[in-house]
Homo-oligomer: A and B are copies of this chain.
Amino acid sequence: MHSHDDSLNRLASVLRDDLDETNRTIVARMASDVQLIPQLAAHLVAAGGKRLRPLLTLAAARLCGYRGERHIRLAACVEFIHTATLLHDDVVDDSELRRGLASANAVFGNKASVLVGDFLFARAFELMVEDGSLEVLRILCNASATIAEGEVLQLSTQNDLGTDIPRYFKVIEGKTAALFAAACEVGGVVAGCDRDICAALSAYGAALGMAFQLVDDALDYAADQNELGKTVGDDFREGKLTYPVLVAHAGGDDAERAFWRRTIETGEQTETDLATALDLIARHDAIGQTLREAGAFAHKAKAALAALPDDPLRALMMEAADYAVSRHR
């Protein structure tokens, strides 16, 4: 996780009471007689995290003048969906499995992640049903289907350097931008805003999500480890196809392409490969290009908010878009 201080922390301070209430709801609604559920969920959900997505729901609702309590439950529900996708993202492929019987202590692995994720998904939908808005349900169901589609597409294209930029964008639209967009939109819906305003909030969230994901991609090849607490090269070592790699590969000569094919497509890596990868990324200005792309999305995000009332909250949401891009420095 990166540190999203600055504008995000200020947004969190302004919405402190709402956020505290959301955290209480999250803890209360993870409860289950089946102890493994709160145990495992607490590991991810209750442990904290930046609560970026629920923060967007809370901010959008308040920016639209909402004075009630419904946005709390929906913010919790957005966080549950996010946590469920994190749990499912961690599942490891069984092609790497050894043959043989499962050992008795193998209780907290893939299977627990999948099933507790399913529980959180179902709990999220229960929260929405309690809320009772079919429009909110529609938005978050569609987002959930889009997330799953994006993740499956990522699986289909992973290690495939033939993936082009539009296809890569489709992956991150699904796996990241869809929930950002939905989190913002339901804030508008709960406040009773008209279609245009809700669409503007959705557009803001979608563009913000794209910017965040692109910067995440860039940070993996550029982060100052001490400052951001992120290890350089995680994506590379996992053979993940991200934007900087696509840029460097597209601009590379035959030898460079052979390097990417070996390290990303076939996953064969030696100790010196990360240094070579960083060198190639730098040579093709792939970080710069990724951040410029992220900047364009941040600009789109801010432009979308022009439809919303001029308000200190709106200013903070706009700053959050800038911060998404500038946090690499």
Which A residues are closer than 8 A to B by beta carbons?
A: 32-37, 85, 88, 91-98, 100-112, 114-116, 118-119, 121-123, 125-126, 128-129, 132, 134, 137-138, 141-142, 144-145, 147-149, 151-153, 155-156, 158-159, 237-239, 265-269
Give this chain's copy count.
2
Q: Is A145 in contact with B132, judged by CB distance below 8 angstroms? A: no
A125's nearest neighbour on chain B, judged by CB, is: B141
Known: A97-B98, A138-B129. A156 touches B118 (CB 8 A): no
Q: Is A141 in contact with B122, judged by CB distance below 8 angstroms? A: yes
Q: Is B107 in contact with A155, judged by CB distance below 8 angstroms? A: yes
Q: Is A149 in contact with B94, judged by CB distance below 8 angstroms? A: no
Contacts of A125 in B (CB 8 A): 125, 137, 141, 144
CB distance from A70 to the nearest CB of B (A): 15
Known: A118-B148, A121-B118, A144-B118. A106 touches B96 (CB 8 A): yes
A139's nearest neighbour on chain B, judged by CB, is: B129
Q: Is A145 in contact with B159, judged by CB distance below 8 angstroms? A: no
A130's nearest neighbour on chain B, judged by CB, is: B138
A92's nearest neighbour on chain B, judged by CB, is: B94
CB distance from A136 to the nearest CB of B (A): 10
Known: A37-B149, A91-B91. A155 touches B112 (CB 8 A): yes
CB distance from A189 to the nearest CB of B (A): 13
Contacts of A85 in B (CB 8 A): 118
Contacts of A110 in B (CB 8 A): 91-94, 110
Bound Cα distance from A104 to B238, whole angstroms: 11
Bound Cα distance from A289 to B106, whole angstroms: 31
Contacts of A138 in B (CB 8 A): 126, 129
Contacts of A116 in B (CB 8 A): 148, 152
Selected contact of A141 from candidates B129, B151, B152, CB within 8 Å: B129
Secondary structure class of chain A's binding surface, majority of residues: helix
Bound Cα distance from A151 to B110, whole angstroms: 13
Top 10 A-B pairs, shortest CB-CB distance: A95-B106, A119-B148, A122-B145, A122-B144, A93-B109, A118-B148, A94-B110, A94-B109, A101-B267, A92-B94
CB distance from A145 to the nearest CB of B (A): 4
Known: A129-B141, A138-B129. A104 touches B159 (CB 8 A): yes
A268's nearest neighbour on chain B, judged by CB, is: B101
Known: A93-B102, A106-B93, A129-B137. A155 touches B115 (CB 8 A): yes
Bound Cα distance from A85 to B118, whole angstroms: 9
Q: Is B156 in contact with A104, judged by CB distance below 8 angstroms? A: no
Q: Is A148 in contact with B115, judged by CB distance below 8 angstroms? A: yes
Selected contact of A35 from candidates B35, B98, B112, B156, CB within 8 Å: B156
Bound Cα distance from A137 to B128, whole angstroms: 10
Known: A95-B109, A122-B145, A137-B129. A88 touches B115 (CB 8 A): yes
Q: Is A111 in contact with B93, judged by CB distance below 8 angstroms? A: yes
A145's nearest neighbour on chain B, judged by CB, is: B122
Bound Cα distance from A102 to B158, whole angstroms: 11
Question: What are 24 A-to-B residue pairs whose CB atoms are below 8 Å?
Answer: A33-B149, A34-B156, A37-B149, A85-B118, A88-B115, A93-B102, A93-B110, A96-B98, A96-B109, A101-B268, A102-B239, A103-B267, A107-B155, A107-B158, A111-B155, A115-B151, A115-B152, A116-B148, A121-B148, A122-B145, A126-B145, A129-B134, A129-B137, A137-B137
